[in-house]
């Protein structure tokens, strides 16, 4: 139920950026690729909505960047974890499964992750993550890449890098950049990460579209 209303909120913001990958979103996607490729231990953290919307795109990104794929749920049950892991494996992903521990500085069910997975990661890609988990990962010193259509969300503002784009457009662009971006460009992108600029640009796109909507 909460996943559906969250999806609706995303649809509204997607409408405001014109349901397309903006120039600043593409820059963010290329930077995300550079961060994933330069990481020592990159992990893609997958929740229910991400798996439902983009299991194949997640598998393709894993192929392109070599990251671990680990399931992390807000509403965690063993049954839901197994269902979503199966969905990802059927789409071609290699899922980092097995015993989890309560390792993140969060209350209750949300603290769980795998010691040799997300807990050891230096770069974590979190599509559609909530603000608390994003902050917890940042507080552990990790570089967090968020994909979030709302540039004002706590997730978007706390992440190291935020891709303001729809998930099934964003993931293939990150995969493409992993395959095609020259090493020199990757180095330049890593040296100039500026999340405030990326969020400002997303907001500028939205206000421009709103301002001319009644023309």
Q: Binding to a second copy by residue 15, rule CB under 8 A?
A: yes
Q: Binding to a second copy by residue 13, rule CB under 8 A?
A: yes
Site string for a second copy, 79-118 (x = CB under 8 A): ----------------------------------------
Report d(CA 10, CA 6) in Å as an integer: 6
Site string for a second copy, 153-172 (x = CB under 8 A): ----x---------------
Q: Which of 139, 137, 105 is nearest to 123 (CA)?
A: 137
Q: Binding to a second copy by residue 49, rule CB under 8 A?
A: no
Site for a second copy in 189-208 (CB under 8 A): 196, 199-200, 203, 206-207
Q: Which of 52, 82, 152, 183 touches a second copy by CB under 8 A?
A: 152
Report d(CA 67, CA 36) in Å as an integer: 7
Q: Which residues, in sequence order, are CB contacts of 87 under 8 Å at separation 6+? A: 51, 52, 55
Q: Which residues, in sequence order, are CB contacts of 8 under 8 Å at separation 6+? A: none
Residue 21 or residue 150: which is nearer to a second copy going by CB? 150
Q: Do 128 and 167 meet the contact criterion of CB atoms below 8 Å apart? A: yes
- Long-range CB contacts (within 8 A, 24+) of 108-114: 109/73, 109/74, 109/75, 109/76, 110/74, 110/76, 112/72, 112/76, 113/45, 113/70, 113/72, 114/70
Residue 2 or residue 101: which is nearer to a second copy going by CB? 2
Q: Binding to a second copy by residue 184, rule CB under 8 A?
A: no
Q: Which of 9, 75, 115, 188 touches a second copy by CB under 8 A?
A: 9
Which stretches of the chain bind a second copy, using CB under 8 A? Answer: 1, 4-13, 15, 150-152, 157, 196, 199-200, 203, 206-207, 210-211, 213-214
């Amino acid at each position: 139920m909460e996943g559906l209303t969250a999806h609706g909120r995303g649809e509204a913001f997607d409408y405001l950026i014109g349901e397309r990958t903006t120039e600043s979103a593409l820059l963010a996607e290329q930077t995300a690729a550079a961060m994933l490729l330069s990481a020592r231990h990159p992990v893609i953290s997958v929740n229910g909505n991400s798996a439902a919307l983009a299991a194949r795109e997640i598998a393709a990104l894993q192929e392109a960047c070599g990251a671990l794929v680990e399931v992390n749920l807000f509403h965690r049950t063993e049954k839901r974890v197994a269902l979503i892991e199966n969905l990802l494996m059927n789409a071609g992903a290699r899922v980092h499964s097995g015993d989890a521990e309560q390792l993140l500085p969060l209350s209750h069910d949300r603290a769980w992750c795998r010691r040799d997975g997300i807990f050891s990661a230096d770069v974590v890609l979190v599509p559609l993550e909530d603000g608390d988990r994003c902050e917890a990962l940042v507080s552990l010193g990790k570089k967090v890449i968020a994909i979030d259509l709302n540039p004002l969300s706590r997730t978007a503002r706390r992440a190291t890098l935020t891709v303001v784009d729809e998930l099934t457009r964003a993931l293939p662009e990150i995969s493409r950049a992993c395959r095609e971006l020259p090493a020199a460009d990757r180095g330049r992108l890593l040296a100039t990460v500026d999340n405030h600029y990326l969020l400002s640009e997303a907001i500028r796109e939205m206000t421009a579209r709103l301002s001319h909507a009644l023309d």
